Structure 1
Amino acid sequence: MAKKNKPLPALDWLEPRVRLARWLSLALFLALVVLLGVWYLLLEDLHGARPWVILGVHLVPLAILAPGMLTGNARVHAWTCYVLNLYFIQGVVAAFQPGRALFGWLEAGLSLTLFCSALLYTRWRFQYDRKLAGE
């Protein structure tokens, strides 16, 4: 028995959602970068470690994803969801350390909301592209 495909939403329903999810994802991505930068460069006591090195290690995964996020590539948004798990875990661990609780909850919250918006963008963008292709 063949599986019946669920009909795709209309283009006028998908278009504003794709646009909103993309801009929300981009804003949250930049907010996560800013949070990491401000925390490691200005607020965190690294006990003699070079803040640029620590920040660089934390920003490498995001720097790899940045070109695709800026151009709105749906596949990069999907990969971002995988990478964000690292930041979410780090945020939750930091949230239970004295002196890092605020940073931890902010990082976990930003990574969770970015995960949701990137996931929705990926879903709606692929549906939008399929609808444009005539499916």
Structure 2
Amino acid sequence: MNGLERLEARHGLESLTRKARQAVLASFVLLIALLLISGWQLRSNNGIEWLPVLVRALPLVLFLPSILTRRPRGHAWLAFVSLLYIAQGALLTTLPSQAWWGWLEVLAAMALFFASALYARWQSRLLRR
């Protein structure tokens, strides 16, 4: 019995699924907010248009229907897409003026990755019952 199975046996799938969903929602909102705030900062400092900011946030917004309808497969794909934001945040950490935004983006995207992957696992197990 591995660690996740012990966790499932101790706390129950329903409880873990509910907590994972809350974590998905919180990290999703946080990541969107960070993307928009850092985009706003880039726009005001460098004079770029809104289109690059919206293009950065668009992949996440496309997963909103899957999050709202609680589909496990959509959450699994969201976990994969969040890896792009981890890489993007890691690249931002190399820029002196954007380092803090990069670290915050990495942390929020990692939270989204783990929460959505765990939600997909536990919700699919609940649906198979």
Q: Same fold judged by TM-score > 0.5?
A: yes
The alpha carbon displacement at 1:104 in A equals 0.4
Contact 2:75–2:117 under 8 Å retained in 1 = yes
**AA of the residue aligned to 1:35:** L
- Looking at structure 1, the residues matched to 25 and 97 of structure 2 have their Cα atoms a distance apart, in angstroms, of 29
Alignment length (residue pairs):
121
Deviation digits for residues 4-62 of structure 1 (CA, Å, limit 9, x no counterpart): xx9xx66x711010011011101110110011111111x22552321x21211101101
Structure 1 runs not aligned, ≥5 long:
1-5
Contact 1:88–1:108 under 8 Å retained in 2 = yes
Partner of 2:91: 93
Partner of 2:17: 18
Partner of 1:104: 102
Partner of 1:35: 34
More helix by proportion, 1 or 2?
Answer: 2
- Looking at structure 2, the residues matched to 35 and 85 of structure 1 have their Cα atoms a distance apart, in angstroms, of 16
Helix, strand or coil at the partner of 2:12 = helix
Query: CA RMSD of the aligned region, Å?
Result: 1.7
**TM-score, normalization: structure 2?**
0.86
Structure 2 runs not aligned, ≥5 long:
none
Partner of 1:80: 78
**TM-score, normalization: structure 1?**
0.83
Give 1 or 2 for the bigger CA radius of gyration. Answer: 1
The alpha carbon displacement at 1:86 in A equals 0.9
Contact 2:20–2:116 under 8 Å retained in 1 = yes
Identity of aligned residues (%): 35
Contact 2:23–2:111 under 8 Å retained in 1 = no
